[in-house]
Amino acid sequence: MRHSASLANWQALSDQLPESCLRIASYNVHGCVGTDGRKDAARIAEVIRELECDTIGLQEVDYRLDYIAGRLGMQAVPGLTLVRHDGPFGNALLTTRKVLDVRRLALGYGRREPRNALDVDLDVSGTRLRVIVTHLGLFGAERRWQVRKLLDVLKKTPADERVVVLGDVNEWLPLSRPLRWMNSLLGRSVVERSFPSRWPLFALDRVWVRPRPALLALKAHRSPIAARASDHLPVKAIVATQNLRWDQRPLARERHLRAVGSRQEPISY
């Protein structure tokens, strides 16, 4: 199967791949306030359940994080950076994988809203995998500064270490400098329109994976409840933690049998 084809067939691929592959998503939950103006953490939990992912990077989550995690039976790793009148607010990670280490990188820019990157090492079937969850700022200069900070950290990461960087990058222009810089270091991210959730036009939510071939599939999750629960759709991906080789033998055998008719000759690969 071609890599590009696998990117378009998330569910079919997920059903065939082992537990050693990470199913991961990025989801800006908008403080659990939906497009109907209703604040409903249970609805956000239901969307996350639909994803069938074992790890989810959240943005704009509030004090309801523990409620959502408990409802899903997942571990919550908070990276909340902003204290509002109704409690903490910011990034977080939900996972069923073992958490090995947690770091938080401050990305506050001047007097702009405090932001950070939540940097977590996970044990994925015996392989250490680094996941960075972030939410970049609303202004161009702010995002460029924040991406430079992220790149400084990533450049110090050994080239053979598997890394996933995900989040709401707030980049509306596909050829913006922050996107080009991230693509240059980590490989081009797959573009999936995720905002606004009812009529998605912009690919604000991104997932980068290094090494790039370890990204096996990626798609925005569209469902009736996802269109209402937040102003963003979640974007989900499958990441290989081992050097998998897609087995093309069944497809090759089928083509061979069609070519030779009913002969059942052994085939060498």
pLDDT in tens, 150-167: 999 999 988 888 999 999
Edge-first strand listing for the sheet containing 55-61: 75-84, 87-95, 55-61, 22-28, 235-239, 215-220
pTM assigned to the model:
0.85
Topology adopted by domain 3-260: Deoxyribonuclease I; Chain A (3.60.10)
Question: Which of the two residues, 81 and 188, has the higher pLDDT score?
Answer: 188
Mean pLDDT computed over 169-179:
92
* CA 41 to chain CA mean position, Å: 20
Q: What is the structure's pLDDT at 131? A: 98
